[in-house]
Amino acid sequence: MHFHVLGVGPIGVLISHHLRMALNPKHSVVLIHKEIAQKKRAQKLGNVLTVERGGAEHTVSGFQSEVFNLRRQLSQDQQRHLEPHDAEAESSSIPDASAPSTEEIESLFVTLKAPAVEAAIRQLQPRLRRDSTIVLMHNGMGMYERLVRDIFRNPEHRPHFILASNDHGAILKTYLHAIHTGMGSITFGIVPDPLGRDFEVGFSSPDAKPSLEDIMPPDEESERYSSLRNTVAVLSSMDGLNTSWKPISHVLTAMKRKLVVNAVINPLTALMGCRNGDIFPTQAALRISSRICSEAAKVFEADYHQGQSPDAPWEALRVGPNDMNDFPAALRREALEQEVQRVAYNTAGNISSMLGDVQKGKATEIDFMNGYLLQMGSTYKVQMPATAMLLNLIKMRTDIPINTSLLGISPGSDQKHERYVPVTQQVLDKALGRKHPWG
């Protein structure tokens, strides 16, 4: 079986590394690179991935490579040398670059950032079948809803989906070399089957355990559930990442908790230009966090009570309004505040992905974090001013170019124009010629 990984950033390297370690060598792990140059670089490195933790480096080889949307990157002359019918053919005019593959994708792990996911899946749609499996591992929420609304509209022809909540920390040292900065866990669940098969029979009682046979009995000849069964099997075997298969309702709760954590920490660190651990020593940050957690808890309660998320196709999961007495304690304001502070403390030395995006002038995931909460607020008529304020501030920060002259940076300095420099009161006072009372 072929397992494809779309997105070879730090989390993509981490997942690919452990995926290759968990699989029998007869199964392929295919890295989908964004650019031809990246594939060439991977080939020069021997298609070896390195994960570093605690100063120790662990390398794994045996990967295959593709280039995402290869045709768009080639000149017309180069494209004429490609053989569309031969997915593995090498172009004589493009050393080390494969022709665009047309083979079916059986299992796709998506580790891209949220803003890039929908367009990438749309490009790969011709290679995805109803018996394919897609594992979504990005930050934020709302992407699954978009994909089934805009791309996979027909439930009977829709691929299987696995939603995963990942709280491992990783950064990219060099291409295909990730540093595992924080040990966490990956909780995943299967989106309910539109055709009615119950994947969660094993969760029906405290004594029962989830079983791959609930997905597909070993003697079943149909290929409809084969890739799903194999994908869940390999996910469950990735012991080094603390993976666990849970009911989809449990996963959604975990995703909502992570959503709130990201909706607080990511924009605050991006706006302040600081590490995760620098925000909560300030009372102002605690007040902002408390307000966002309060707004999120209210909208989660409204969603739980009314039994409907915005545009969420959970027909097999939703059974109508729920008893408020059973509302998960983990989604109440106090629990959310504690989780935000716990994550900030445990990742104190980390730079958030949103700060990294702002520094590099890239699109942020704010629409899939604060934006998703605001969408829920609009659906349930819950006012969310603090959540909206952070979203709008991040959009301002990404839309307004840094004026280096205001920051006292000379045109010939080493400071890059694109680099994010936080505009603090001290910087503004300096620009206006004010003196600080403390010197």
pLDDT tens-digit profile, the chain (439 residues): 999 999 999 999 999 999 999 999 999 999 999 989 999 999 888 899 999 999 999 999 999 999 987 555 554 444 444 444 333 333 323 334 445 567 899 999 999 999 999 999 999 999 999 999 999 999 999 999 999 999 999 999 999 999 999 999 999 999 999 999 989 999 999 999 998 999 999 888 777 788 999 999 988 877 899 999 999 999 999 999 999 999 999 999 999 999 999 999 999 999 999 999 999 999 999 999 999 999 999 999 999 988 654 445 444 344 344 555 688 999 999 999 999 999 999 999 999 999 999 988 899 999 999 999 999 999 999 999 999 999 999 999 999 876 656 656 555 555 443 433 443 444 434 444 444 333 3
Quote the crossing angle between the two packed helices 385-399 and 283-306, to the nearest 10°: 120
340 occurs within a structural domain: yes
* Same domain flag for 309 and 393: yes
In a 10 Å sphere around its CB, with 0-12 CB exposed, 13-18 middle and 19+ buried, how is residue 157 labelled?
A: exposed
Domain that holds residue 275: 250-399
CATH number where 8 lies: 3.40.50.720
CA distances from 343 to 48, 128, 252, 257, 260 (A): 32, 36, 18, 11, 11
Give CA–CA dist 56/144, Å, rounded: 36
Which one of 228, 246, 264 terminates a domain?
246
Q: What is the pLDDT of residue 392?
A: 98
* Same domain flag for 319 and 192: no
**What phi and psi values does residue 2 have, to the nearest 5 degrees?**
-105, 130
* Same domain flag for 144 and 217: yes
* Same domain flag for 271 and 331: yes
Which one of 180, 215, 246 terminates a domain?
246
Overall domain count for the chain: 2
Query: pTM (2 decimals)?
Result: 0.83
Amino acid at 179: I
CATH number where 287 lies: 1.10.1040.10
* Same domain flag for 241 and 254: no
404 occurs within a structural domain: no
Q: What is the pLDDT of residue 406?
A: 67
